[in-house]
């Protein structure tokens, strides 16, 4: 019975860690969208 609780807890922790890592990578790598917007003449 406790295995389900531990698995759900680990899943939530892994989800939060992956989300934080994804946010860090997104903030570290600037997207080329603003560059395209600045290319308007």
What are the tens digits of pLDDT across the range 21-39?
Answer: 888 887 766 665 655 566 6
- Asked whether residue 13 carries a pLDDT value surpassing 70, the answer given is yes
Q: Which two tokens stand for residue 19?
A: 């989300």
Can you tell me the distance from the alpha carbon of 32 to that of 4, in angstroms, rounded to the nearest whole number? Answer: 43
pLDDT number for residue 31: 60
pLDDT number for residue 3: 84
Q: How far is CA 30 from the centre of its chain?
A: 14
Q: What DSSP line would sit under 1-41, residue for residue?
A: -HHHHHHHHHHHHHHHHHHHHHHHHHHHS--SHHHHHHT--
Q: Mean pLDDT of all residues in the chain? A: 78
């Amino acid at each position: 019975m406790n295995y389900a609780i531990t698995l759900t807890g680990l899943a939530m922790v892994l989800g939060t860690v992956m989300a934080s890592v994804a946010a860090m990578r997104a903030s570290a790598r600037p997207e080329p969208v603003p560059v395209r917007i600045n290319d308007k003449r």
